[in-house]
Chains A and B, each alone.
Chain A
Amino acid sequence: MQLCLSIIIDPSFFTSFIMSPLLFLILVPLIAILLIMCGAPSRFMSLAATGLNVALGLFLFFHFDTRAGEWQYLQKISIVPQLGLNFTLGADGLSLIMLVLTTLVSFAAIWSTPKIEHSPALFYICLLFISTGLVGAFSSLDTFFLYSFHEIALIPVFIMIGIWGSGDRQKAAWKATLYLGAGSFIVLLGIIALYLAAPINLRSFDFRVMKELSQSNISHPASWIYLLLVVGLGTLVSLFPFHSWAPSTYSSAPAPTAMLHAGVLKKFGLYAFIRLALPIFPSAIAKFSTLLLLLLICNILYIGYVTMAQKRLDFTIAYSSVMHMGTIFLGLIAFNRLSISGAVLLMFGHGLSVAALFCLCAALYRRTNTLDYKDLGGLARLIPKISLLFGFGTMASIGLPGFTNFAGEMLIFFGTTAAVIINKGSLSFIIAMIAALWGVVISAIYMLRAYRNVFFGPLSNIQRWESIKDLTFFEYAPASMLFLFLLITGIFPRLIVNLIHTALP
């Protein structure tokens, strides 16, 4: 009763209630969840909700006025005024890119979901919760809600791996949850520390305010906060040595979960790094760049070689996604306009390509019941559609021209070269750049090898694959959609780069 009263008494609660279109993006899947709980057909509702979100996301993407202010679609609801805690929605170019990525991958994940035997409603509710959490995280300007929404997306992952996962699913689910839980709690500590670094009357959880305060030298956050963020966000992004949760999670999770997690949820760590660490800690980034470069070289080279040694297709893709995080991190640490644009492009491209690969990988597994390289081979003749699409995925993952990944990697290399020059020939940057270039070779080796082992060469066991069927519509359509967007943005990277530049100073 007191709550109702205070809502009525507090006029700012209503006056602030100008609907942002971003609120729709969050509410649509939530309403779908409610309807499914009340008994609506789960698959249809989820498809409708995520489809609507794709349309809405693309509309906002093209509707964004690159010449107008940095932040658009703003809406602010005051939550705890004394704390400077507001529910603020808004988007700049970067948020919009992540939102489009989220809506596309959510739609593809739900579209590609095969028939679920065991409580399908719960499965779709979980997927929609992940989608809601992600949309919320990428459209919140307030770090409190940024963090909260991300966490909302983590719980369903735990439930989904446990119920519908494969292999040693229980162990994988626990490992992922404990790693990510610890990581995100460290991020929370970092956020609180950032908040408390400001003078008492200016404190705010809004990351725009945090940025303003530190850039105008009003608050002086200590550099250990940066290290907290690196450890916390690094765990979420699977930065070496906090990466060991990722492979087991992706290979055990049901395909739609893996698509959403590897494609989008993991990018949250990078997104938060761009929002919190980059603008607030320019000097700490320079100070600790050698340490971080060392870690990400391990990500690229060490994990790269580990990937080459994998004997199963799903593990190869899972490890490769860990490895690519190193390249993206390099773009962020090089810390200039070029390299950060490249990192964002690669985040987008990698999100789409890895989601498509997991989708195809699951489709393959449904046919063959094995992903071991020694059991597979020569399947291209029998299932040409899957092999063609997988080829696209392979090339995107390697970073061949025409795909967004290529544009992203190129910009990262250019940016790193610029960083070498800016840092007067800094040895660590040179080594990191060579490692990253070598990483492209490594990724070409393992992806092509995987492609050959599965689809080419002699047919391993003719009787076994006699009755194998090629992709059905609901399997190839989602992957094709993802590749279509990958190609469009790969050929016209300007579409994305223009938007990124509105977000970068």
Chain B
Amino acid sequence: MNPLFLEFTLVLFGIALLMVEAFFPKLNKKIIFLMSMAALVCVLLLTWLPMLPLSMASASFYATDPLALFFKRFMLVMTMMTLLMSVYFIPNIQRGIPGERPGAGVGEFFILPIFACASLMWLVSSINFIMLFVSLECMTIVLYIAISYLRNDPRCLEAGTKYLILSALTTGFLVYGISWIFGVTATSSIAHLGKAIAMMPAESMPPLLFGVGLVLVAFCFKVAAFPFQFWLPDVYQGAPTPVTAFLSVASKSAGVVVLFRLLEQLYTVPILGGKILTLITLLAIMTLLFGNLAAIAQTNMKRLLAYSSIAHTGYVLMSLASIGAALALPAIGFYLVAYLVMTSLAFIVLIIVTNASGGDDIYHFQGLHTRSPFLAAAMAIACISLAGLPLSAGFVGKFLIFQVTFQQGHYGLLGVGTLSVVIGIYYYLKVIKVMYWQDPTPEALPINISSFTTLLMTLLMITIVILGIYPTPILMSLK
């Protein structure tokens, strides 16, 4: 089938679901959830169908390479995880949205991610600046709604406003940068950018550099690289937790894919390539240091995960500085998959503990081991993997990234990376410490979890361990 249909199908499913929600308001919201999941699963299965080659016109803006396909599946899986998390989040939504009938707004919360997912799938395939811009904006508009979804909660509204203003600002940067690049190279294609720059007269270099700089700023904002990370902790803390997870995994990964496509072209340009490489190396160093050092002092779990997400961006930037190595792309892909699994696990535990304890500060995790050994074990495995300790997916991810960085000879970057791994071990083990070493506060009650939750979390834990021992399938699919 035509690969373009993947996104169309998903959008059609989304619209149909909105209609169902609008015309059958009494429908149980769980059914909407199940239908959304079914839609996502259906599209995920479609990605394995043999794809027709695209027409010349479509192929100039839409890539169907393994990279795009891999990340389309990635986005679909992450959206499913977001929906699963949203199920635990239903009570918060009902509290956050005052409506005349109970359950108002819950249905849409299950449908919105579908649209975001479709635009992200489109985004990872874009090899043309115009396409890129349109799909990026589609995603951002959905996120504006999703981040400020709980309209009774001032922190949530604050997060939405911050995201709206800063995101709109970077959109401006992006458009402006694109127009400069188009102005000097006379092409809007990313895939042919390297060639176009090579044919350009030498005096157009400064304006090109200006345009590229603006575009890089916009994407550093999306992936939250230092110094464009200021929005992130507040937005992560204020946004509904499933949306936070979606932001930190899906939206970041899409930014990484775009950066990869862009840098792949830019590095081939003789003088400019070296400059950009230095820039990315510096960004990686600063992001690693900032994310890790700032995470040490956090007392709120969501903020801790926010800063750690900045740190993880740093590791991905490390490998983006080493694209020349053969395994760079599989390393990035694997790292993001590992990040998806472990972050989802951590966020599910976070939502359940928050619901049971009435807050998401780290001290709400005190003595979790006695309140629910299973939840504590799940969080411990997530933390071990996030810290990059062996026989977990996170370790293999870091291992691959360090290997490609080594191969490209970025020894300074390696040193900073090592330091940040040690700092990371410190603050992730701090969470384990709180759960296991300390006794629960007297008013904290044991937490009961349903057998479905147990199954879901067990699956995620097993995935973490299996990927930590047998990473080959993921690596092969990006070869």
Contacts and interface: CB of A to CB of B under 8 A. Distances in A.
Interface of A: 2-3, 5-6, 79-83, 87, 119, 122, 144, 147-149, 151-152, 154-155, 158-159, 162-163, 170, 173-174, 177-178, 181-182, 185-186, 188-189, 192-193, 195-196
B426 A186 contact: no
B403 interface: yes
A178 B422 contact: yes
Contact of A193 (B384, B395, B406): B406
Nearest to A13: B470
Interface in B188-244: none
Given A6-B476, A82-B475, A185 B422 contact: yes
Nearest to A10: B472
A30 B296 CA distance: 33
Interface in B446-479: 466, 469-473, 475-477, 479
A152 B475 contact: no
A5 B399 CA distance: 25
A154 B433 CA distance: 14
A315 B472 CA distance: 47
B473 A188 contact: no
A122 B370 CA distance: 11
A82 B403 CA distance: 13
A186 B417 CA distance: 11
B436 A196 contact: no
Contact of A192 (B327, B406, B425, B473): B406
19 contacts: A3-B466, A6-B473, A79-B471, A81-B472, A82-B475, A119-B369, A122-B373, A148-B395, A151-B389, A154-B389, A158-B429, A158-B432, A159-B437, A162-B437, A163-B437, A181-B421, A181-B422, A192-B406, A196-B403
B389 A155 contact: yes
A181 B470 contact: no
B384 A155 contact: yes
Nearest to B472: A80
Contacts of B407: 196
Given A80-B475, A144-B399, A192-B403, A186 B418 contact: yes
Nearest to A78: B472
Contacts of A6: 472-473, 476
Nearest to B422: A182
Interface in B365-386: 369-370, 373, 384
Nearest to B419: A182
B402 interface: yes
Given A2-B477, A178-B422, A148 B436 contact: no
The binding surface of chain A is classed by DSSP as: helix
Nearest to A181: B425
B390 A147 contact: yes
Contacts of A181: 421-422, 425
The binding surface of chain B is classed by DSSP as: helix
Nearest to A3: B473
A83 B418 CA distance: 22
B35 interface: no
B341 to A, nearest CB: 12
A173 B438 CA distance: 14
Contacts of B475: 80, 82
Given A178-B422, A181-B421, 13 more contacts: A6-B476, A80-B472, A144-B399, A148-B391, A152-B389, A155-B389, A158-B432, A174-B426, A178-B425, A182-B418, A188-B402, A189-B402, A192-B403
B54 interface: no
A144 B396 CA distance: 10
B6 interface: no
B15 interface: no
A90 B421 CA distance: 31
A220 B115 CA distance: 54
B418 A178 contact: no
Contacts of A79: 469-472
Contacts of B373: 122
A189 B433 contact: no
Contacts of B470: 3, 79
B77 to A, nearest CB: 11
A182 B437 CA distance: 23
A81 B330 CA distance: 14
A192 B402 contact: yes
B319 to A, nearest CB: 14
A23 to B, nearest CB: 13
Most A-side CB within 10 Å, residue of B403, B432, B466, B479: B403
A81 B471 CA distance: 11
A83 B325 CA distance: 13
Contacts of A178: 422, 425-426
B69 to A, nearest CB: 12
